[in-house]
A = this chain, B = another copy of it.
């Protein structure tokens, strides 16, 4: 066990890695037990559900097809991406590597993809936005947590806009903080004012009178929509009716997510929830799939069930912990290669040819 979470910046990926999940064991070895436990919180609980959901979706090989000029590029919300694998917002990334969020955003841009800055980032969002600016000039997306009220929320949003963020991801499925962690000295959510856990009076409910009193509502979403012209995505949807309502309020996309299993124990696997959402959305806005992606075959399954793109979380943090920006870039590349290999073996030369009938 290494005491420090900060190995020297790697210049090439570690040896022996064949797949994204191979970084997991490296990360566990490098991180402190507390950081590892925080990162993996909910993984065991949700991992089985997600793995089971993905396991029942077998990609069906279709050999001998013409695949000339095949690729995995897409346009998403007006942006050009080399592949549909986005980095999900993850808090406090300096817990995992000294280079923190900047390394992740840099890696995503270097792989011609996209990343999302967390409201709980441990580095100034302006620096992350700069590190993550793509060759096309597009900045990373910004994940917005409700700041307890409209004024504070607007302040944070404006700062992200000013930094050049190119889309807003409004995360609404985690109004209650479950995983607790004593942050080490020097690591904090530097972009938002400190928000202590709520306290309630005798006989009051810590949940309803405490946490939920500072949670956003649909009215707040409508308000938020009026306050930004950037593409606005709602993250944390599992029910089709909520996707419908988000579209009705003007959202530009929805992200089907169980928050990596970190919030509601026993919640449905996001992949299981995806088809009903896709069916209801009927292509009006892109649907993204978050939570549980561990390999390129999982990306393929999500796209076959109607997702336009996916977000990955823990896998890239494993890469970050093991090798900084190089590790993150490697994880993205491995996932993309696996996705393209699955596409090729299943006879799909482009993302738009991946359809439900591609799963056996």
Contact = CB atoms under 8 A, between A and B. Distances in A.
Contacts of A66: 217-218
A199 interface: no
Which 7 pairs show the lowest CB-CB distances between chains A and B? A70-B208, A207-B340, A63-B172, A268-B360, A58-B268, A64-B218, A67-B212
Contacts of A43: none
A114 interface: no
A130 interface: no
A242 interface: yes
Interface stretch (A184-192, A259-267, A279-287): A259-267
A244 interface: no
Contacts of A176: 341, 344-345
Interface in A235-279: 236-239, 242, 258, 263-268, 272-273
B60 A239 contact: yes
A295 B266 CA distance: 11
Given A61-B236, A70-B207, 20 more contacts: A58-B267, A58-B268, A60-B239, A61-B173, A61-B267, A63-B172, A63-B242, A64-B217, A64-B218, A70-B205, A70-B212, A71-B208, A176-B344, A207-B340, A207-B341, A208-B349, A211-B344, A264-B341, A264-B346, A272-B360
Nearest to A178: B341
Contact of A63 (B82, B236, B349): B236
A266 B60 CA distance: 9
Nearest to A336: B205
Contact of A207 (B112, B295, B337): B337
A221 interface: yes
A258 B237 CA distance: 36
Contacts of A173: 61, 63, 345
A40 interface: no
Contacts of A68: 213
Contacts of A343: 207
A193 interface: no
Interface in A35-82: 54-55, 57-72, 82
Contact of A64 (B213, B216, B263): B216
Contacts of A308: none
A206 B337 contact: yes
Contacts of A203: 82, 112
A8 B71 CA distance: 51
A5 interface: no
A175 interface: yes
Contacts of A268: 58, 60, 360
A129 B267 CA distance: 40
B59 A264 contact: yes
A239 B72 contact: no
Contacts of A206: 337, 340
Contact of A344 (B57, B212, B242, B346): B212
Contacts of A217: 64-66
A206 B216 CA distance: 45
Contact of A360 (B60, B211, B238, B342): B238
A297 interface: yes
